[in-house]
Chain A
Amino acid sequence: MTSSPNKIFVTLLLLLSTLCGATNAVAEQDFRRRAHAVNSNEFETGDIQAEVAFGREIAARILGREPLRDEAELARYVTLIGQALALNSGRSELSFYFAVLDSEQVNAYSTPGGYIFVTRGALKQMRDEAELAAVLAHEIAHVQLRHIVNAMHIRGKETSGVMTWMSVITGGSADTAKVAFFQAVDQATNLLFKEGFNIRDELAADRVALMLLANTGYDPEAPSRFLTRIDTAERGAADAAPATTSEHAVRTHPSSAERMTALTTALRAQGLTDLNLPRRSERFTSYATHD
């Protein structure tokens, strides 16, 4: 059989360029997932400890980038609202912590283990307590659904002695776990500040947040109001002075229109429309003054 390596390379490159230019034949690759993956979805005590340690490390990095707002009453107020929401999160094994970051960016962050941050810039855009609760509930939902934990595959140490022993014997386990931990922290920090959650996770957090709000007694339509205002503000800011827009919020979330459409659908699907639950704008204004 005669052969021509150059022809084969050219053919391969042509095929590649054709494939890259074609439309997606299969958008999701979940069919590659094998049955043993369900083992990774079971969580044990060691996993919770790993999650908290991991989240604490990321929280430290967040605070290294953006300092805490030095306002004790505001911090206490935000914490009380957050704790009330967290009671309904189903993550009773976690101790949630809430804090306000002294940043003008309009954003909020959550890390595994229950560390929740909202920026001063975000508070300025809110008009009532329900909207603050909506933002906190969205971040709590990320923790509840373990979005970073699953994305980074954060787990405790292997508990099977035989497996650990055999892994060491065959060279499959070493201090690489420690290296992997800190690399995963880097990736998670990058995910929070640059890449953002994927749209599927964001929309899932929105849906769960609606139930958290309603179960805690806040108006479940608050997320839509807040998003509408943010969207309007961002459009205006972009027209006037692009540099002042909330870069992180734009980068790390799906479009406001997309989220609002999904929220409207979820409100109806979950029977949360026309509940007339309180917004508590007076109390919010008394604590979160817009200086």
Chain B
Amino acid sequence: MRHMINITRWAIISTCALFSAATQADTYHYNNILIGDRAAGMGGAYTAISDDPSGLFYNPSGIAHAAGASLNGSVNAYSNTFSEYKNVFGNKSWKRVSSGLIPNFFGLVQPFAGGMAGFSVVVTDAVADDQDQHFSNFTPAGGNDPSKDYYVNDFYINFNNQDTTYNIGPSFAFKPRDDLSVGLSLYGHFRKQQFILNQQVYRRNGEQIWTNGYFQIVEYGVNPVLGVMWSPVERWSVGMTLRKTVVLQSNSRKQITSKEADVAIIVQPTIETSTVIRDRPLQLSIGSAYFANDHLLFSTDLTWNQSVNSSQSVLNFALGSEYYINSQWALRAGLFSNMANTPKLSATQTGQLEHVDLYGGSFSVTNFTRNSSLSVGFNGNLGNGKAQVLATGVQDLQVWTLTTFIAASNSF
């Protein structure tokens, strides 16, 4: 993503001095998708529970407590993210929408070799970001020649960013003691991003500017997840998970094609490739759950992400609760945060990454039969922050996300 930011900034600044870094916010946060069925309904506060297939991701040690002899579960989610960069051109706002159906999770657990083994496929992050906008009749900030007429008659922007990260791999958990379980998931990490930005500027003075940027990155790596769960006293459970994605191979390619204002021809594309490997943060989650009775439980998580490269360390919280109306119906609700790993913006600096802290809630309803369950729910988050989509100045940024999901679980 850092490559993408650089390419965007380079392309835009060098061509028309209009726009600087303005990319989708997702890599600036670590809690973009709530994984699983039960966990998603509880705001992701699942580190101390994790006793169903989605536990393979949250805390693999939890599957040692899975109720069924063999379980599988899947979740499909439809997610919408709306980002509005306010007053970019006068009172005109820049709007981006990300939407798509995400096969969020599939997992299977079953007894094996005195413990529980599992296999899961997790989409840990997915963006399908689009912007198709037309602005007219404005004078942008950022022109560096006071004698020049920068007034824009028409400005078109077409932006598309597809960025998906998959974790796929086996897990194993066992109980060295009745009140203690240990588990490990060894995920293979795969990420692919494709990014296209096309801009056309028609100035009042007759100048025309066109820029096309294309960026692709493919990453392969591993993501080991080590989990522990312990019950210090009756009805209490505490869990801890440690994970770190280690990128082993990365190949990126960026291509920029442009027509500058003061030339008549399109410049030949510049193509750059890179194998630079990005560092990813160590993540530590600590959770606690109180099983009040078989109808009610409460859980809470704190997740810390290490500071790596230019990103800051981040601490997120999650609170969740589950209540069974009866043996057939359960309600779940949760609150969570999704804090930005970027520094707060300064009005005097340039080239700054956007910063918006998000706070969200979740709710789901589950119907149980003897061997299966079906859940329908939603989760969403909302936040106001700052961004710098032009070369200078700071804009207000509002982001909200709403995800609806449907999930099924079966036991055999």
Contact = CB atoms under 8 A, between A and B. Distances in A.
Interface string A160-196: 1001101101111100110011011001000000000
Which applies to chain A's interface (DSSP): helix, strand, loop or mixed?
A: helix
Contact of B294 (A16, A34, A39, A176): A34
A152 B67 CA distance: 11
A35 B367 CA distance: 12
Interface stretch (B105-113, B157-165, B198-206, B387-395): B105-113
A177 B235 CA distance: 33
Most chain B CB inside 10 Å of its own CB: which residue of A15, A27, A36, A177: A36
Interface stretch (A5-13, A59-67, A242-250, A281-289): A5-13
B180 interface: yes
Contacts of A87: none
Interface residues of B, number: 64
Contact of A26 (B178, B228, B412): B178
B410 A172 contact: yes
Contacts of A172: 72-74, 372, 407-410
A290 interface: no
Nearest to A44: B370
A146 to B, nearest CB: 13
A170 B408 contact: yes
Interface stretch (B39-47, B131-139, B320-328, B349-357): B320-328
B65 A183 contact: no
A28 B244 CA distance: 32
A25 B307 contact: no
B69 A153 contact: yes
Given A3-B282, A153-B70, A35 B330 contact: yes
Interface in B223-272: 226, 228, 230-235, 237, 240, 242, 244
A211 B250 CA distance: 70
Contact of B65 (A24, A32, A160): A32
B129 interface: no
Given A28-B178, A153-B412, A8 B284 contact: yes
A176 B72 contact: yes
B176 interface: yes
B411 A153 contact: yes
Contacts, number: 167
A153 B313 contact: no
Given A12-B228, A26-B179, A5 B235 contact: no
Nearest to B64: A29
B373 A36 contact: yes
B111 A187 contact: yes
Most chain B CB inside 10 Å of its own CB: which residue of A2, A3, A26, A39: A26
Contacts of A27: 178-179
Contact of B179 (A15, A25, A166, A167): A25
B371 interface: yes
B370 A5 contact: no
A238 interface: no
A26 B233 contact: yes
A36 B178 contact: no
Given A1-B307, A158-B370, A184-B69, A167 B410 contact: yes
B121 to A, nearest CB: 10
Contact of B327 (A38, A152, A159, A180): A38
A20 interface: yes
B295 A35 contact: yes
A28 B235 CA distance: 10
8 contacts: A1-B313, A40-B411, A153-B411, A158-B372, A163-B374, A171-B408, A177-B410, A180-B69
The 10 A-B pairs of least Cβ separation, nearest first, read A172-B408, A180-B412, A36-B368, A35-B324, A1-B313, A3-B306, A170-B408, A26-B231, A153-B69, A26-B179
Given A19-B230, A166-B408, A176-B72, 9 more contacts: A8-B242, A9-B242, A12-B228, A24-B179, A35-B327, A167-B372, A170-B374, A180-B69, A184-B70
